[in-house]
Structure formats: structure tokens, C-alpha cells
């Protein structure tokens, strides 16, 4: 009877356990049957066991060696043949994971995917009233926030030598106003070793309205993502909640400025691996290490980002593409729609992250805004989506018009001689007119101008150095009287820098923009003499506010 050697199996098992332990400690996968990463680590551990066991038995090629023919010099040579039977279990496990992944996909579950996100249709003017105000629109992109934050920290020599500002700026609502926040992080392993007893001492806030940044000191935060070993925030939360699938770990502050880290609890609702959604969150106090688990309906209002914008966009695409089945999304595409996608040119050297949604602070929460287009590839929106990042509540508004990329191009064209680049816009309501508002930046990333573009008629564009002036000019073009407008008639003489003709509700209006960037308007049918005016003309105007009563040419 052949004696079985037990030692290779024992050593192989120990090696596999050590390998699996290292993978678990490094990658922190949830011990959850819905987590494919756990299955893959198990399969790899079985591979390691088999390889070590075969090596210790002298099978150094990990398979079977056949000694066959002789060469001309009489020496034997080895022919390698991989023997699948030794690796049948891990290969079968990986195949099973792949098979479950396929059957969990939208190919076989299109209807279930389309129902993950509940979208209600709503009224634009009611939900996005002007009372929200332009101060609630967060126009600053992440790249600009990074620039301002780095500049603020750069002035603090004792801070900048030991810490960096995390590039993961998060948009939150802070006491009714939108701000971006980012925590400091250790500048490497040795900086962590030097400072771990005191922790991270602060964070940066950036005001997207005033375009200013400030550094806020706080108690030392020990449990942060840039820490190592058991003080790493991600690993610390995994060790406390090993069965929960956690994603979207990010920094937030409450209404008193106290820092926290928040992670979303992920659930898979389709088959075993498909249909990702959020069921709650974990809130970590990085100073004390205390954690609290919240179900979705119990999350405190100061927590702003539980459903990430990327996840909401993905869920809406499932909703818009698969309502009539998977095959329809590939061929007929009847009724298929998706959120606006926007990518930078591949040949650009601009490393600015490009977002496909904007932010609005509303009712104490942060809502993401993104346009919705049909899948036929045109340059227009058929509506737009507003979604709450805390609750996942999503509302669709049927407002047709130019997509965001076309609006950005229109704003850039207004100042094309300056070469400014538009940021991804957000949406505001101006007297019932859906309006894109955005910032224009120079090549260095500095904000130079604000721009407002009408959604339904994107040839209506205004730019100004301040957000308030931009809105006032925009209202003037639309014929909306502002508080500064009076009924008193005044006589002025101006030089025209630009003449524009815009159709509003079937009427053509003439807009004169003078060299001081003031705007005057008149209905073309009532002032036909103005149709011959051109750039550079000097005119005498009789105006009631911005409305032209009479116009005649003046000598230059």
C-alpha cells in the first residue's frame, strides 16, 4: 500500500490560508455571498494550495511531465503537459463565478434592472423655484476646488510639510449653502508614522459661490483613509462590519463643522451579483473611532452623499434603456434614453476631471442634475433628472432643449477670443425659463466669467464677471424686468459693440450691447429703423429702464 505524504498538504493549506488572509487584509472584501471578490479570493487560494502541494511533491512544472523522445545527441527531453485535473476545483469555482455574473447581468434581467430606480415625473417650475436662488447652485468643478484648496494649505508651512489635501472633494449642503469639503491626508507612510499619535488636524472647505477656500482645524483624526494598518478608515470599518459591502467612503462635516467619514452600504438585488443599490450607510467619527449604522430611512439630514452621482446615473440608464427589454436596447431602441455623457478630448493635456452632472442645494440636501437624451446621438435633451444624493429620490422633468455640451460650446463661443473653457453647467429657473448656468475658466483653471444659456434657445447667452450680474443681463435679454428697472425715460448716447436678434414667443427682439456691456432691447416690429444698426455705430437712445423707446444714429 502506497504511503500518503501528509506534509505537502499541510504546508499547502497553511500557505493558502496565509495568502487568503493577506488578500482579505489588503483588499477588505465583505464576507458576503453577493460579493464576487470573496469568491475569487477563495479560488486563488485553492490555486496556491495546489501549486505548493505539487511543488513539494516534486512536480515543479505544476502539471505532468512526459519523458518522450531522444534528441540526436542521445539526451532525453521533457514534454510539458498541463493537467487540468489538479486544478479542477479552483477552475470550476472561477467558472461558476463567471456564469453567475452572466446570469446576474441585464441581459437576462432587463426588467428588474429597469425597476431599481423609481423615477417620478414632476413640474420644473414648482420643484426648482426661483426661491432656491443662485447661491444654491454649486458651479465649481473639482479641479478648481483642488487649486484653491492647495493654495490655502500652501500658506501653512507646518501643515503642508506633513499633509496633503485629498483630491476627493465632496459637494455637501452646509447650513443651507453648497460647499466642497476635503480632509487633509498623510503624505506617505513615514509622515503617518511621525504624526499618527496626533492624527490629522484639519480639513479644507471651498465656497463655490465666492470662489474662496479656508482651512478648518479640528481634533486629531486617527481613522482616515490615508492611515495604515488598523487605523485605515476603510479597513477599520471592514473589521467592525465584515459582512457589509461598503463603497463610496468619503469625508463630510455636520452642521457644526464636526468631521465624519461616511460609507454607503451596498446591496445586490438581481440574482447574486447584479442590480446594485444602497440600503443605508455607516458613519465613522474619525477622532474616537465610534461608528453608527443607519438604515436608509433613518439617515440624518446632515449626511448628504449616500447615493453617489455616478450610481444614480447608472441606475437611471438601466431605467431608461431596459424598460422594453434588453433586445430593444440593442436594436429597435424604442423609448430608450440615458443621462448626458460628456468626455474631454483624448488629445488634450487638461487633466481636469470631467463630471456629467451638476449640483443643486435644495431643502437641506444635495441634488444632482443631469440632462436626459435619447440614444440616437443628437445634440439635444428631451428632459432632465434631479436626484437626491441622500435618499435616492429621483424626479424627471420633460423639458426639451440643447444638451449641456451644446450650451457649454455656446458660452465658450460668446468669448471665443479669450479661449476660456466652460465647466459642466447646472440648472436654474428664471421666471419659468430653464437656464444653464456655468463658469468660464482660463487655461490656468481660474474662474474668469459666469455664463447663462437658455435651455430651449441656446443662442440666448449672457456672460459677466459676477453671478448676479450675469443673471440680471440674462433677465434683461428675456424681457424680464428687474428691481433696478424704473419706468422713468432717460436719454443716453452709446457705442454699439454687438447687435443680436432673438425670437421670443414668435416675436423678434433686437438687443443692443454697448461698449460698457449694458444691454438694451426693443421689439423689431416697432423699431424697424434699428434693423440697419451694426457693430461700432453710435446711437442716441431714449430708454425706460432697458426698454428702448426711440433710437437714432448719432455722429461718431
Would you list the domain boundaries of the chain? Answer: 7-103, 413-478, 489-553
Distances (CA, A) of 498 to 512, 516, 535: 6, 11, 5
CA angle 446, 449, 142 (to 5 degrees): 45
349 pLDDT above the threshold of 50? no
**DSSP assignment, residue 550?**
E
Q: Kindly give, in sequence order, each residue whose CB lies less than 8 Å from that of residue 191, ignoring residues fewer than 6 positions away.
A: 162, 163
Which has more pLDDT, 211 or 422? 422
CB 282 within 8 A of CB 291: yes
Supply the pTM of this predicted model: 0.81
Convert the pLDDT of each residue in 519-544 to its tens digit: 888 888 788 888 888 888 899 998 87
Distance CA 488, CA 252 (A): 51
Lowest mean pLDDT among 2-6, 154-158, 314-318: 2-6
Q: How confident is the model at residue 488 (pLDDT cuts 50, 70, 90)?
A: low
Q: For residues 391 and 277, give the distance between their C-alpha atoms in angstroms, rounded to a whole number.
A: 12
Report helix angle 36-56 to 88-103, nearest 10. 170
Mean pLDDT of 384-394: 95
489-553 maps to which CATH number? 2.40.50.360
The pLDDT value given to residue 475: 87
Per-residue cell: 5: 505524504
Model pLDDT, residue 39: 97
Distance between CA 181 and CA 238 in Å, rounded? 24
The mean predicted confidence, pLDDT, of the chain is: 86
Distance (Å, rounded) from C-alpha 371 to C-alpha 381? Answer: 6
pLDDT reported for residue 342:
62
Q: How far apart are CA 6 and CA 16, in angstroms?
A: 16
Q: Which of 170-174, 339-343, 550-554 has the highest mean pLDDT?
A: 170-174
Q: What is the pLDDT of residue 153?
A: 87
Provide CB contacts within 8 A for 522, sequence distance 6+.
Answer: 509, 510, 530, 547, 548, 551
Query: Where is pLDDT greater, at 348 or 195?
Result: 195
What tens digit of pLDDT does each residue of 361-378 get? 888 899 998 999 988 766
**β-strand 383-388 against 365-374: which pairing, if any?**
antiparallel
pLDDT of amino acid 351: 43
Please, which pLDDT band fits residue 485 given cuts at 50, 70 and 90?
very low
pLDDT at 412 over 50: yes
pLDDT at 348 over 50: no
For residue 68, pLDDT beyond 80? no
Is pLDDT of 427 > 50? Answer: yes
Amino acid at each position: 500500500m502506497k504511503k500518503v505524504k501528509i506534509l505537502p498538504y499541510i504546508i499547502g493549506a497553511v500557505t493558502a490560508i496565509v495568502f487568503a488572509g493577506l488578500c482579505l487584509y489588503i483588499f477588505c472584501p465583505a464576507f458576503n455571498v453577493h460579493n464576487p471578490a470573496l469568491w475569487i479570493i477563495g479560488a486563488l487560494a485553492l490555486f496556491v494550495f495546489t501549486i505548493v502541494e505539487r511543488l513539494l511533491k516534486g512536480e515543479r512544472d505544476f502539471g505532468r511531465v512526459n519523458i518522450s523522445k531522444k534528441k540526436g545527441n542521445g539526451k532525453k527531453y521533457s514534454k510539458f503537459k498541463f493537467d487540468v485535473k489538479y486544478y479542477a476545483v479552483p477552475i470550476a469555482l472561477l467558472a461558476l463565478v463567471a456564469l453567475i455574473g452572466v446570469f446576474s447581468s441585464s441581459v437576462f434581467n432587463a426588467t428588474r434592472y429597469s425597476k431599481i430606480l423609481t423615477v417620478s415625473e414632476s413640474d420644473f417650475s414648482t420643484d426648482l423655484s426661483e426661491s432656491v436662488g443662485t447661491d444654491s447652485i454649486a458651479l465649481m468643478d473639482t479641479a478648481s476646488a483642488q487649486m484653491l484648496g492647495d493654495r490655502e494649505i500652501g500658506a501653512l508651512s507646518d501643515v503642508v510639510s506633513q499633509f496633503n489635501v485629498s483630491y476627493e472633494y465632496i459637494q455637501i449642503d452646509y447650513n443651507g449653502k453648497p460647499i466642497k469639503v476635503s480632509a487633509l491626508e498623510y503624505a506617505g507612510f513615514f509622515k503617518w508614522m511621525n504624526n499618527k499619535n496626533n492624527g490629522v488636524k484639519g480639513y479644507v472647505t471651498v465656497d463655490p459661490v465666492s470662489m474662496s477656500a479656508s482651512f478648518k482645524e479640528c481634533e486629531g483624526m486617527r481613522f482616515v483613509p490615508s492611515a495604515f494598518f488598523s487605523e485605515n478608515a476603510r479597513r477599520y470599518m471592514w473589521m467592525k462590519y465584515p459582512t457589509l459591502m461598503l463603497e463610496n467612503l468619503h469625508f463630510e462635516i455636520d452642521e457644526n463643522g464636526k468631521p465624519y467619514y461616511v460609507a454607503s452600504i451596498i446591496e445586490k438585488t438581481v440574482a447574486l451579483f447584479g442590480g446594485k443599490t444602497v440600503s443605508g450607510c455607516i458613519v465613522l467619527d474619525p477622532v474616537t473611532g465610534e461608528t453608527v449604522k443607519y438604515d436608509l430611512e433613518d439617515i440624518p439630514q446632515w449626511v448628504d452623499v449616500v447615493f453617489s452621482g455616478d450610481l444614480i446615473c447608472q441606475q437611471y440608464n438601466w431605467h431608461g434603456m431596459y424598460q422594453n427589454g434588453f433586445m430593444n436596447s440593442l436594436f429597435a431602441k424604442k423609448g430608450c434614453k440615458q443621462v448626458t455623457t460628456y468626455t474631454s478630448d483624448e488629445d488634450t493635456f487638461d487633466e481636469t476631471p470631467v463630471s456629467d452632472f451638476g449640483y443643486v442645494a435644495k431643502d437641506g440636501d444635495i441634488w444632482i442634475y443631469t440632462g436626459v437624451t435619447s440614444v440616437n446621438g443628437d445634440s439635444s435633451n428631451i428632459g432632465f433628472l434631479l436626484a437626491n444624493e441622500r435618499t435616492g429620490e429621483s424626479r424627471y422633468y420633460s423639458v426639451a432643449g440643447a444638451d449641456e455640451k451644446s450650451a457649454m460650446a455656446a458660452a465658450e463661443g460668446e468669448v471665443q477670443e479669450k479661449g476660456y473653457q466652460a465647466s459642466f453647467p447646472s440648472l436654474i429657473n428664471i421666471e419659468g425659463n430653464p437656464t444653464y448656468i456655468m463658469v468660464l475658466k482660463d487655461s490656468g483653471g481660474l474662474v474668469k466669467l459666469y455664463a447663462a444659456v437658455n435651455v430651449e434657445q441656446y443662442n440666448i447667452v449672457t456672460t459677466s464677471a459676477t453671478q448676479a450680474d450675469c443673471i440680471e443681463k440674462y433677465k434683461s435679454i428675456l424681457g424680464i424686468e428687474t428691481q433696478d428697472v424704473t419706468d422713468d425715460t432717460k436719454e443716453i448716447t452709446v457705442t454699439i459693440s454687438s447687435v443680436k436678434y432673438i425670437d421670443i414667443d414668435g416675436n423678434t427682439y433686437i438687443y443692443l450691447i454697448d461698449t460698457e456691456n449694458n444691454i438694451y432691447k426693443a421689439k423689431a416690429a416697432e423699431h424697424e429703423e434699428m434693423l440697419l444698426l451694426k457693430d461700432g455705430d453710435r446711437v442716441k437712445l431714449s430708454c425706460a429702464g432697458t426698454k428702448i423707446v426711440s433710437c437714432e444714429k448719432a455722429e461718431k
